[in-house]
């Protein structure tokens, strides 16, 4: 009778290729998945220097502003300084020291401490400089302008899913957007900022997201809705919000108690930005109803000129094989009743824009309902579904996009641009004297963009999103 050792040795000798493959899969480092980080490298460990510095929404950004950042865990106090921005470098003489709160989070990159300070009692429409504290050091000084306390023009940038290979591919989009609209005061993210495919061990993806946005995130207020990829499956029960979300993107704190980390609104110079959590709505009837009730209340008490709603899963899907009828059943009637103007969504990895009049026919821009938009900023690309032309007036496959949206008291001026800065879609929404709206389609007369990967696309997919991992140095010129 052979020993167990001999049996195992024999098994290994016969099945060596399969054993090595299995070992490689089981032992492959999490670093490097969906990112540019090579195996064995840890570029995103927290340290003495503050990083991931980001401005996020508050209910009243005319007088308050939230900033969050990360250090290593040894920095136990959260300090920031803020001053009205002057032309002298002597900001330290006029700066006020503000103490905030923090919490720790242990990830693949080690234990970090996540800090938040909310600057209060600010003057409206005023340029401020601020910096945040690390371990015996500071960040650089950043500038931001508070919102006006009255209705006034401003510009927002809106991004669909970044999600995959974020540093490789989303960087180009957010930097082109910033170059196009450098005075934008709001950035809207419609979910799936990262992929989170490896459970807790996806912190490199957040490192890349903050690398891509860099100082832009520290100067412009971010309004972000979570997508399905910011939720993590459990062994049983509903998906749970990943722990990075509330520390990197703290909500404004005015949502329903059950969804305080993801549902909120911000009033910015005559625009009410509302953020909903469609992942929670689609996985729980209770969370769907809670948001519907909160939405009704929030829209009932809305003195702003315009209303923009952001969430992840589209009301009218653009991509093949996707549909979210429960959102149409429970949210769309509220959008219609309260005359929501713009709905900014993600998830479908295509572009689609349509007014969705009651008939469902496209091309009938009569201002009857909200304008629904689906967009994508990252590299994962899907195919347009057969029914999309029935609900959308402009469509695209295989195109990284950003949207620049200008709000004035009388008009919304919307432009979707490709990553190379080309105008791909445009429309205006005007408020008429009688309170009704007029929509003017201004899309350029260019062909609808289609998937350019006919050989490799499979089913609903055009590009998988991780093509940067293919490294072929044999064909260098
Ligand atoms: Fe998604």
What residue spans define the domains of the chain?
51-145, 154-441
pTM here? 0.91
327 Cα to the center of ligand 1, angstroms? 15
272 Cα to the center of ligand 1, angstroms? 24
229 Cα to the center of ligand 1, angstroms? 6
148 Cα to the center of ligand 1, angstroms? 34
Under 8 Å between Cβ of 146 and 123: yes
163 Cα to the center of ligand 1, angstroms? 8
439 against 201, higher pLDDT: 439
130 Cα to the center of ligand 1, angstroms? 34
Per-residue pLDDT tens for 421-454?
999 999 999 999 888 889 999 999 999 999 998 6
186 Cα to the center of ligand 1, angstroms? 22
126 Cα to the center of ligand 1, angstroms? 37
Check pLDDT > 50 for residue 19: no
Check pLDDT > 60 for residue 5: no
Measure the CA–CA gap between 148 and 151, rounded to whole angstroms.
Answer: 7
Which range, of 339-348, 357-366, 418-427, averages the lowest pLDDT?
357-366
276 Cα to the center of ligand 1, angstroms? 14
14 against 406, higher pLDDT: 406
70 Cα to the center of ligand 1, angstroms? 26
Structure tokens at 72: 């290593």
16 against 412, higher pLDDT: 412
Residues 6+ away with beta carbon under 8 Å from 370 = 309, 335, 336, 340, 341, 342, 343, 355, 356
47 Cα to the center of ligand 1, angstroms? 31
Question: How large is the average pLDDT for residues 228-234?
Answer: 92
Per-residue pLDDT tens for 116-139?
999 999 999 999 999 999 999 999
331 Cα to the center of ligand 1, angstroms? 19
252 Cα to the center of ligand 1, angstroms? 23
322 Cα to the center of ligand 1, angstroms? 11
162 Cα to the center of ligand 1, angstroms? 10
315 Cα to the center of ligand 1, angstroms? 13
3-state secondary structure 181-225: CCCCCEEEECCCCCCCCCCCCCHHHHHHHHHHHHHHCCCCEEEEC
8 Cα to the center of ligand 1, angstroms? 44
* DSSP β-ladder status, 186-189 and 154-159: parallel
Measure the CA–CA gap between 377 and 403, rounded to whole angstroms.
Answer: 10
386 Cα to the center of ligand 1, angstroms? 20
437 Cα to the center of ligand 1, angstroms? 31
Check pLDDT > 90 for residue 411: yes
Measure the CA–CA gap between 68 and 247, rounded to whole angstroms.
Answer: 7
User: Running DSSP on this structure, what letter comes out for residue 168?
Assistant: I
Strand ranges for 282-377 from DSSP E? 306-310, 342-345, 351-354, 371-374
257 Cα to the center of ligand 1, angstroms? 24
Check pLDDT > 90 for residue 17: no
Give the HSE-up count for residue 252: Cα atoms under 13 Å, Cβ half-sphere.
25
Question: Architecture of 51-145 per CATH?
Answer: Sandwich (2.60)
289 Cα to the center of ligand 1, angstroms? 21
375 Cα to the center of ligand 1, angstroms? 11
190 Cα to the center of ligand 1, angstroms? 9
User: Running DSSP on this structure, what letter comes out for residue 10?
Assistant: H
pLDDT at 358 (0 to 100): 44
Domain at 154-441: CATH code: 3.60.21.10
Tell me the pLDDT of the chain averaged across its residues.
89
Which range, of 5-14, 243-252, 316-325, averages the lowest pLDDT?
5-14
Residues 6+ away with beta carbon under 8 Å from 346 = 160, 161, 190, 191, 192, 227, 312, 314, 374, 375, 376
Instruction: Name the nearest CA neighbour of 51 among 129, 118, 109.
Output: 109
3 Cα to the center of ligand 1, angstroms? 52
């Amino acid at each position: 009778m052979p020993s167990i050792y001999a049996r195992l040795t024999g098994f290994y000798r016969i099945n060596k290729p399969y054993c090595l493959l299995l070992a490689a899969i089981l032992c492959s480092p999490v670093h490097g998945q969906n990112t540019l980080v090579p195996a064995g490298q840890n570029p995103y460990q927290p340290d003495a220097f503050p990083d991931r510095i980001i401005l996020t929404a508050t209910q009243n950004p005319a007088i308050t502003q939230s900033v969050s950042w990360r250090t290593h865990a040894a920095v136990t106090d959260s300090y920031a300084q803020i001053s009205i921005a002057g032309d002298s470098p002597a900001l330290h003489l006029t700066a006020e020291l503000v103490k905030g709160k923090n919490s720790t989070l242990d990830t693949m990159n080690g234990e970090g401490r996540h800090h938040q300070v909310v600057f209060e009692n600010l003057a409206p429409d005023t340029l401020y400089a601020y910096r945040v504290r690390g371990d015996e050091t500071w960040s650089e000084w950043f500038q931001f302008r508070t919102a006006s306390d009255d209705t006034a023009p401003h510009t927002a940038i809106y991004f669909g899913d970044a999600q995959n290979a974020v540093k490789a591919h989303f960087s180009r989009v957010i930097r082109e957007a910033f170059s196009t609209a450098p005075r934008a005061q709001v950035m809207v993210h419609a979910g799936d900022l990262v992929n989170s495919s490896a459970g807790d061990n996806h912190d490199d993806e957040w490192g890349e997201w903050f690398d891509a946005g860099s100082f832009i995130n520290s100067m412009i207020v971010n309004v972000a809705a979570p997508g399905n990829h910011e939720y993590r499956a459990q062994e049983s029960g509903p998906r749970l919000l990943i722990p990075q979300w509330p520390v990197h993107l703290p909500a404004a704190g005015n949502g329903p108690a059950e969804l305080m980390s993801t549902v909120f609104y911000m009033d910015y110079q005559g625009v009410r930005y509302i953020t909903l959590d469609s992942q929670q709505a689609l996985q729980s009837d209770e969370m769907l109803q809670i948001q519907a009730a909160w939405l009704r209340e929030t829209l009932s008490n809305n003195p702003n000129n315009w209303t923009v709603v952001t969430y992840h899963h589209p009301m009218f899907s653009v991509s093949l094989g996707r549909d979210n009828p429960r959102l149409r059943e429970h949210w769309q009637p509220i959008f219609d009743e309260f005359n929501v103007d713009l709905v900014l969504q993600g998830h479908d990895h295509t572009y689609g824009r349509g007014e969705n009049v009651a008939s469902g026919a496209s091309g009938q821009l009569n201002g009857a309902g909200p304008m629904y938009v689906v967009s994508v900023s990252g590299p994962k690309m899907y195919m347009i579904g057969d029914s999309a032309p029935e609900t959308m007036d402009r469509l695209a496959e295989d195109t990284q996009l950003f949207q620049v949206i200008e709000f004035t008291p009388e008009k919304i001026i919307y432009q979707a641009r490709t990553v190379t800065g080309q105008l791909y879609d445009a429309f205006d929404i005007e408020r008429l004297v009688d309170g009704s709206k007029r929509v003017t389609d201004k899309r350029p007369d260019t062909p609808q963009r289609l998937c350019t990967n006919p050989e490799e696309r499979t089913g609903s997919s055009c590009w998988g999103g991780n093509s940067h991992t293919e490294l072929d140095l044999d064909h260098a010129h």
